[in-house]
């Protein structure tokens, strides 16, 4: 039994005694005070009292342990974790609704009201923001927003094609989204927030690659993934395509001007920036300085699940498909980081994690014609992605 003097806050951290340890210590003290012959059985008055008190003390130590853990990012949760983040200016990402544009085709002069409802064939619904009139060319471009929050509403181009209530507006012939609908997300979980917190630990004082990455992740809204590479040699880095003494940021998501501004503020003086996007930034000395960075090349990952065996609790192929999409990442959001390879052996666990799956075979590749059971190498400036079209079940 661990001695009670070592309970609570110790040089090794906080030690929370178990209910049994507390009860044993109390029974030891009772025998010391009343003699070895004292009756401490579960039905004796003293025995009942000690067990009630030990139970209350166990709850108290549990609360004290939670208070102790709330001061550290690795063990804090909920508002305690968010309060730690506020100390370095890190805000919790709220749930967002996906947003995009839709082209409505029909008779000239047809008025499309605000709140006009459209959807994907799978039932994901979106409403128009504002009003529009179909022009002489027979179409109108409108902003649409998902009716609910969540990543599932991030959908590729050409998928929003259904009119939910055709009789509400006469003269509309068809609808479609010519570009991807993006921006939807669930409320950030504690694990996601903790990860961003740990990625931001160098933010306060550094100007190295990690500090620049942390600053972009923290200060630029809409950024989903960042990798920052540096070349501190006098030679050109062929692998990274970086000039001597330069940094190259690969950023997915976020406004280009905001990204360039953060890089300019965080990089060391005289250090070059490299990338295929150039944004001029005005310094305090009214000097225009070109800041360069890159967007990752998105690599579509194809997955085929076949010989699938399930029981009656299996929720359906859509849930299984979504589990794989989440593991890899959709539209560059979530999943694997920039430059992170797709490891074949990491995916079967995602499949078995779906309720009701008993057995299956799986192959992956960069096309349906080149599937196999090998890892997929992702370049340092690339990002693996998957969607409903690239994950096939059956």
Averages of pLDDT over runs of 10 residues in the chain (394 residues) are: 70 88 92 92 93 94 89 82 74 82 92 92 91 90 91 90 85 91 84 75 60 82 85 86 89 88 84 90 82 91 94 90 88 76 91 90 93 92 90 91
Nearest to 144 by CA among 177, 171, 120: 177
- My answer on whether 380 and 336 are in the same domain is yes
Kindly give the interhelix angle for 190-199 and 209-219, rounded to the nearest 10 degrees: 140
Q: Kindly state whether residue 141 falls inside one of the protein's structural domains.
A: yes
pLDDT of residue 206: 53
- My answer on whether 325 and 309 are in the same domain is yes
pLDDT of residue 176: 94
Task: Find all residues with CB under 8 Å of 73, minimum gap 6, and list them.
Answer: 81, 84, 85, 194, 197, 198
Nearest to 130 by CA among 111, 109, 114: 114
Yes or no: say if 252 and 332 are a contact pair by the CB < 8 Å rule. yes
- My answer on whether 302 and 291 are in the same domain is no
Element (H, E) at 348: helix 348-352
Yes or no: say if 358 and 309 are a contact pair by the CB < 8 Å rule. yes
pLDDT of residue 196: 74
Nearest to 223 by CA among 191, 194, 182: 182
Number of domains composing the chain: 4
- My answer on whether 283 and 302 are in the same domain is no
CA distance from start to end of the chain: 57
* Domain with 228 in it: 202-295
- My answer on whether 377 and 303 are in the same domain is yes
Kindly tell me the burial class for residue 241, based on how many C-beta atoms sit within 10 Å of its own C-beta (0-12, 13-18, 19 or more).
Answer: middle
DSSP-derived secondary structure for 230-267 = EE-SSS-BTTTTB-TTEEEEEEEES-HHHHHHHHHHHS
Taking CA 153 as the corner, what is the angle to CA 149 and CA 306, rounded to the nearest 5 degrees? 130
pLDDT of residue 120: 93
Distance (Å, rounded) from C-alpha 380 to C-alpha 248? 11
Tokens 């906080």 sit on residue: 14
Q: Kindly state whether residue 157 falls inside one of the protein's structural domains.
A: yes
Q: How far is CA 239 from CA 242, 243, 312, 320, 379, in A?
A: 8, 11, 50, 37, 10
Q: Kindly state whether residue 328 falls inside one of the protein's structural domains.
A: yes
Kindly give the interhelix angle for 19-34 and 45-69, rounded to the nearest 10 degrees: 140
Q: Kindly state whether residue 189 falls inside one of the protein's structural domains.
A: no
Q: Return the sign of the alpha-carbon dihedral for residues 353, 355, 360, 365.
A: negative
């Amino acid at each position: 039994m661990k001695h009670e003097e070592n309970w609570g806050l110790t040089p090794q951290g906080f030690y929370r005694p178990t209910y049994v340890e507390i009860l044993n210590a109390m029974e030891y003290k009772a025998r010391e005070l009343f003699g070895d012959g004292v009756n401490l059985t579960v039905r004796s008055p003293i025995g009942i009292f000690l067990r009630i008190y030990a139970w209350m003390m166990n709850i108290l130590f549990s609360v004290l342990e939670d208070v102790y853990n709330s001061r550290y990012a690795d063990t804090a949760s909920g508002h305690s974790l968010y309060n730690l983040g506020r100390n370095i200016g890190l805000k919790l990402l709220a749930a967002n609704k996906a947003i995009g544009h839709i082209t409505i085709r029909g008779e000239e002069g047809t008025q499309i009201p605000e709140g006009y409802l459209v959807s994907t064939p799978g039932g994901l619904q979106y409403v128009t923001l504002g009003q529009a009139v179909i022009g002489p060319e027979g179409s109108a471009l409108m902003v649409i927003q998902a009716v609910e929050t969540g990543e599932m509403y991030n959908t590729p181009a050409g998928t929003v094609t259904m009119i939910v209530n055709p009789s509400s507006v006469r003269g509309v012939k068809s609808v479609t989204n010519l570009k991807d609908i993006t921006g939807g997300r669930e409320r950030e979980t504690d694990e996601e927030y903790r990860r961003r917190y740990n990625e931001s630990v160098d933010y306060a004082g550094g100007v190295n690659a990690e500090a620049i990455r942390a600053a972009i992740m923290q200060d630029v809204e809409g950024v989903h993934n960042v990798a920052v590479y540096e070349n501190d040699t006098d030679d050109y880095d062929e692998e990274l395509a970086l000039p001597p003494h330069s940094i190259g940021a690969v950023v997915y998501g976020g406004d280009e001007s905001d990204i360039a501004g953060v890089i300019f503020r965080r990089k060391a003086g005289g250090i070059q920036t490299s990338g295929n996007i150039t944004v001029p930034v005005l310094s305090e000395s009214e000097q225009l300085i070109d800041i360069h960075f890159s967007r990752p090349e998105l690599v579509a990952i194809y997955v085929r699940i076949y010989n699938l065996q399930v029981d009656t609790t299996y929720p359906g192929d859509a849930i299984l498909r979504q589990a794989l999409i989440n593991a890899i990442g959709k539209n560059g959001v979530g999943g694997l980081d920039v430059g992170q390879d797709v490891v074949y052996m990491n995916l079967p666990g995602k499949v078995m994690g779906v309720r009701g799956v008993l057995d299956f075979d799986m192959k992956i590749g960069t096309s349906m014609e080149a599937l196999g059971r090998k890892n997929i190498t992702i370049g340092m400036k690339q990002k693996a992605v998957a969607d409903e079209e690239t994950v096939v079940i059956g």
